[in-house]
Chain A
Amino acid sequence: MVELLLQNIWLIPIYGLIGAILTLPWSFGFIRRTGPRPAAYVNLLMTLLSFLHGSIAFNAIWTHPARQVMWQWLQVADLTLTLKINISPISLGALEVITGISLLVQLYALGYMEKDASLARFYGLMGLFEAALSGLAISDSLLMSYGLLEILTLSTYLLVGFWYAQPLVVTAARDAFLTKRVGDILLLMGIVALSNYGEGLDFSQLASWADDSTLPPLTATLLGLALIAGPTGKCAQFPLNLWLDEAMEGPNPAGIMRNSVVVSAGAYVLIQLQPVFTLSPVSEIVLITLGTVTAVGGSLMAIAQIDIKRTMSHSTSAYIGLVFIAVGLNHVDIALLLLFTHAIAKALLFMSVGSIILTTSNQNITEMGGLWSRMPATTTAYVVGAASLITAFPLGEFWTMRRWLDGAWPIPPWLLVILGFVNILSAMNLVRVFRLVFLGPKQPKTRRAPEVPWPMAFPLVTLTLVALLIPTVPIRWTLWLSAGAPMLQVPPPWTITWGLPILIASGVIGLLCGFWIPLQRTTARPTQMGLRFFQDLFAYDFYIEQIYKLTVMNLVASLSRLAVWCDRYIVDGVVNLVGLATIFGGNTLKYNTSGQSQFYLLTIFLGVAALFWLIFSGQWSIVTSVWSLWFAGG
């Protein structure tokens, strides 16, 4: 039985897909007289099934050997495409996280979306989301992962575009798709290249392939960069980070998924691709640079936001930035642990944020206050989520950092600086938001704030408990991915000895700063010019969007205008003037010559008929002599 479940683990994505397909009668409007909630229940059941199946398999995998299951998908000429899944503790663990969070989120959505008539479409998309994510978790084939990442891109587009009639959604959904698509296309280039260079497109083969690869350095670098680009877009890393901010226009339950597991999916693929990056130091440097820029920039942007969802989403980018750094340093196990602890903490924070939004009909934190004593589940979830995100004893991130700094890996000083910086800003921001939202006097919009109903409160409490339990994972983590035993340096350098204390201290400093900084209630702006400049700079995301408008978007728009102009005046113009003028004795084909069409038609027919007459009457000699002259001349 257990063996059967293990062997058929590929069914898990299929469950989600079936759930998604079963929503179609409602979302297409074939069932109109009754409401769409059965579609939601079906998806919940399917997710529950995935979760149970995954859990049993996850329990069993520890006593069973890891293995791969493979299907041949397409065999054409020299191209063989196989789909391969990997059944290992890591892939099943990832599956467990995804189906678990998805289950809680879908239950949560039952409350959050209860007054939305398009519930069926929402759950259909969530089913698709879950299917793609769980497929990614077990995929061992780069091609399959690419396909699933694209499906994720599509479902992100559709989920962000869920409220399609809302003006900002229209652009947000489009930008989310296109930004991710930029990364995806570069990734596709990498895959096409890799498929040409490599043996196959399987992650498990990549390591051995990378070991004896003889690629020239430039090619290896370009390949690495292309493969980095996909996850960069997916994980909202600089310079493809803005979509996540805009994507906050979508419904919050999708936002929970997006900020916890979806961004992680990109990083998960990145981790699997890591052997390729070892081929080129440049791609490692790029990974670290991107990660650093995003971690620092994202943290700064987060503290200037007044929108409760956006301040959290920028912090997501920042933390995934740390994952990029870890991958760049080849600290793959840590990258995975960071992803895991961040996913749980961020899911919890976003759930809490959702119940605040629903209760107060508001996302502006400057208009909030005094919620804590009326919303126990929400407040607790926020506090636990926030504590799990910063390096605070004894929660997830603390133990992950401890693993990172325990001497198994070399820790350069700059890394410590970045970790400390992100930790300070993160702590400061979380405290700032906490003070604005939960403490202080009630404001008009928070005057009546009953705790959310059970479909939302139950997942909140459950995930809070999970967040309290997950430190066991980093504590008991055996280093699955790192080759060879970790090297303990004797004596340990100062970064190891002082690393954790420094991080804890940075957390404390952040907390104190958060309590100390003056709060901005309502929309009062700081008066000092300097402060104001920086606030605007961070709040408007370093004006990256404007920069894009001026550069990339402007370039595309200009090129397209150029193409149209060229079509209209050069191509058509030349054709009209030269080509046809010679054929039709000076008559140019203008845009208003339809009256003369009979004449043209006649000419054409005459021409063709003449040609045929030449042939049919056996007058080969004329034709051939013309040809021979032509060739003699040429």
Chain B
Amino acid sequence: MLLSALIWIPVLGAIAIALLPQSVPNLWARRMALAIALLVLLLLIPITLGFNPDHLEAQFSEYLPWIGVLGLNYHLGLDGLSFPLVLLNGFLTLVAIFCTRAEIDRPRFYFSLILLLSAGAAGAFLAQDLLLFFLFYEVEIIPLYFLIAIWGGGRRGYAAMKFLIYTALSGILVLASFLGLVWASGAKTFDYEPLRHHSLPMEVEMALLIMLLIGLFIKIPIFPFHTWLPDAHVEASTPVSVLLAGVLLKLGTYGLIKFGVGLFFKAWIILAPGLAILATISALYGAFSAIAQQDMKKVVAYSSIAHMAYILLAAAACTPLSMTAAVFQMVSHGLISALLFVLVGVVYQKTGTRDVTILRGLLNPERGLPITGSLMIIGVMASAGLPGMVGFIAEFMVFRATFAIFTIPTLICLVGTGLTAVYFLLMVNRVFFGRLPDNLAAIPRVAFQDHLPSLVLTALLVIFGLQPAWVVRWSENQATDFVVSPELRRPTLGTAVRSPLSAPSLVAPAISPTLSSD
């Protein structure tokens, strides 16, 4: 019941907030949302305590037959892959709600949508049924669409529509791939675990995987399917950006590992070099695009594209270390991008602009935003992979794992890491250094509570940077399991990559009796 609670408490809360009578002051909408987010976070405590990272099967499983004719079952479960992401989702939802000003327009609707969004993401991470995953994956689009379309900036209509079309397309492709898999393998249900042990012909698997990949690439996003993201970020309000970058993009990379690697391993191995190249292009493309941006949010958004690409690179390498690194990089990117969006949000809220050609000298201790600036420096350093913070060790693990397999792409991606420092320092030095101009000298004061989310996020970046094991331990076994079932192990991955034809022979269906009984 715990897992269902993670999904349905926010949903019920959303309904309750939406139905708050008009006589209740608007302030209460935010308070209630905060209380619900906090409750979800509290629920995660018993889950954390009870979660055993050594168990490879889904834990806290809930199984409820739903629509038998479709093979759709309400099957939830938590594994090492989804556990860190569920935690991230719970935490960032709280951050996002905390960052929202109480005096926002139509607060009831707003906070309901945020909670629905969070519930959708949690559902997708927990679903152990392909169709259920797809349902949550689609459902989460709708609140996000409204959040952008109603509370967005000047070109919100365009951005929301672009987002909607792209992600709907993504959903359709994912669904098509799932349907194809179920049909082709002749399975009775969409249950995840049994489907892993299909034995489809290579060409079918390949076609299904490509479809799935394109769908997920849109979500992550990977070049050339990325242009919806900067637009969506620029128009979205700060809390929405936090959730979008921190959690929702992770649905894509989560899908890559869980379904791409998990369901179509043979085809994945063959495609892997291509994926690595695509990841490299995406990383460089994001980095170079970020350099030329003048909107702080766009810089962070393009940086997101670059850093999400490393997850694809790691997933493509398909080694135990690279899979663990991929999960770690998801958490790391979630925290870092959340921090950066929160900080950009503070700058925007206080100065009314995010244009780096206008902003200047915000480190001014009396009239500027000195604490925001200091945290921003820490944040961009974390993003640039400065040791001691979570970005470094996550990326180091990625590169260390992928170097042996995709040497050149890894080296190029390392250049991309170097470029991170370029675009972020260009931004930070323009915005925070120099003399505060007179037209920026009337910035309202920043209350401590405006700093609270970024302070907590910064602390987490440092803590996990110094103690990466605290994150890695949850997912290591699970991530490893995707690639090291005895039959699936590749002695030297390099050979498998260089001779794709030999790859299928390395893979055989591994049937686990306990799981197939479901």
Q: Is A15 in contact with chain B by the CB < 8 A criterion?
A: no
Q: Could you say which of A169, A589, A631 contacts B433, with CB atoms under 8 Å apart?
A: A169
- Contact check, B414 vs A192: say whether CB atoms are below 8 A apart: yes
Q: Could you say which of A188, A195, A604 contacts B168, with CB atoms under 8 Å apart?
A: A604
- Contact check, B433 vs A165: say whether CB atoms are below 8 A apart: yes
Q: Could you say which of B145, B168, B414, B472 contacts A76, with CB atoms under 8 Å apart?
A: B472
Interface residues of A in 609-630 (CB under 8 A from B): 611, 615-616, 618, 620, 623-624, 627, 630
Known pairs A615-B70, A627-B180; A78 contacts B374 (CB<8 A): no
Q: How far is the CB of B93 from chain A (nearest CB, A)?
A: 25
Q: Is B509 in contact with chain A by the CB < 8 A criterion?
A: no
Please measure, in the bound complex, the distance between the C-alpha atom of A615 and the C-alpha atom of B180, giving whole angstroms: 13
Interface string of A547-564 (1 = CB under 8 A from B): 000000000110111111
Known pairs A164-B363, A173-B429, A559-B288; A192 contacts B399 (CB<8 A): yes
Residue of B67, B157, B400, B425 with most chain A CB atoms under a 10 A cut-off: B400
Set of chain B residues within 8 Å of A608, measured between Cβ atoms: 138, 168, 171-172
- Contact check, B434 vs A185: say whether CB atoms are below 8 A apart: no
- Contact check, A611 vs B288: say whether CB atoms are below 8 A apart: no
- Contact check, A594 vs B414: say whether CB atoms are below 8 A apart: no
- Contact check, A562 vs B288: say whether CB atoms are below 8 A apart: yes
- Contact check, B415 vs A74: say whether CB atoms are below 8 A apart: no
Interface string of A564-604 (1 = CB under 8 A from B): 10110001101100011001000001011111010011001
- Contact check, A79 vs B157: say whether CB atoms are below 8 A apart: no
Q: Is B454 in contact with chain A by the CB < 8 A criterion?
A: no
Set of chain A residues within 8 Å of B290, measured between Cβ atoms: 560
- Contact check, A185 vs B175: say whether CB atoms are below 8 A apart: no
Q: Which of A145-153, A399-407, A432-440 contacts B (4 or more CB under 8 A)?
A: A145-153
Q: Could you say which of A167, A188, A597 contacts B160, with CB atoms under 8 Å apart?
A: A597
The number of residue pairs between A and B whose CB atoms lie closer than 8 Å in the complex comes to: 201
On chain A, the number of residues with a Cβ less than 8 Å from chain B's Cβ atoms is: 78
Known pairs A192-B399, A591-B155; A161 contacts B433 (CB<8 A): yes
Residue of B149, B204, B401, B421 with most chain A CB atoms under a 10 A cut-off: B421
Q: Could you say which of B175, B364, B381 contacts A611, with CB atoms under 8 Å apart?
A: B175
Please measure, in the bound complex, the distance between the C-alpha atom of A151 and the C-alpha atom of B384, giving whole angstroms: 12
On chain B, the number of residues with a Cβ less than 8 Å from chain A's Cβ atoms is: 88
Interface residues of B in 341-389 (CB under 8 A from A): 361, 363-365, 370-371, 374, 377, 381, 384, 386-388
Please measure, in the bound complex, the distance between the C-alpha atom of A516 and the C-alpha atom of B264, giving whole angstroms: 80
Please measure, in the bound complex, the distance between the C-alpha atom of A154 and the C-alpha atom of B381, giving whole angstroms: 8
Known pairs A77-B480, A563-B285, A572-B227; A607 contacts B324 (CB<8 A): no
- Contact check, B289 vs A150: say whether CB atoms are below 8 A apart: no
Please measure, in the bound complex, the distance between the C-alpha atom of A45 and the C-alpha atom of B480, giving whole angstroms: 48
Q: Could you say which of A161, A189, A559, A575 contacts B411, with CB atoms under 8 Å apart?
A: A189
Interface residues of A in 149-187 (CB under 8 A from B): 150-151, 154, 157-158, 161, 164-165, 167, 169-171, 173-174, 177-178, 181-182, 185
Set of chain A residues within 8 Å of B321, measured between Cβ atoms: 76-79
Please measure, in the bound complex, the distance between the C-alpha atom of A597 and the C-alpha atom of B381, giving whole angstroms: 39
Q: Is B410 in contact with chain A by the CB < 8 A criterion?
A: yes
Q: Is A450 in contact with chain B by the CB < 8 A criterion?
A: no
Q: Which of B2-10, B266-274, B390-398 contacts A (4 or more CB under 8 A)?
A: B390-398
Residues of A that sit less than 8 Å from B by CB: 28-29, 73-79, 118, 146-148, 150-151, 154, 157-158, 161, 164-165, 167, 169-171, 173-174, 177-178, 181-182, 185, 188-189, 192-193, 195-196, 556-557, 559-564, 566-567, 571-572, 574-575, 579-580, 583, 589, 591-595, 597, 600-601, 604, 607-608, 611, 615-616, 618, 620, 623-624, 627, 630-631, 634
Shortest beta-carbon contacts, A-B, top 9: A594-B157, A147-B387, A560-B291, A77-B320, A77-B321, A185-B418, A563-B288, A560-B292, A170-B433
User: Can you list 28 A-B contacts (CB < 8 A)?
Assistant: A28-B374, A73-B469, A74-B393, A76-B320, A147-B392, A150-B392, A154-B381, A161-B429, A164-B361, A164-B363, A169-B433, A174-B426, A177-B421, A178-B425, A185-B415, A192-B396, A560-B290, A564-B292, A566-B285, A571-B223, A571-B224, A571-B227, A583-B169, A589-B158, A601-B164, A604-B165, A618-B69, A631-B203
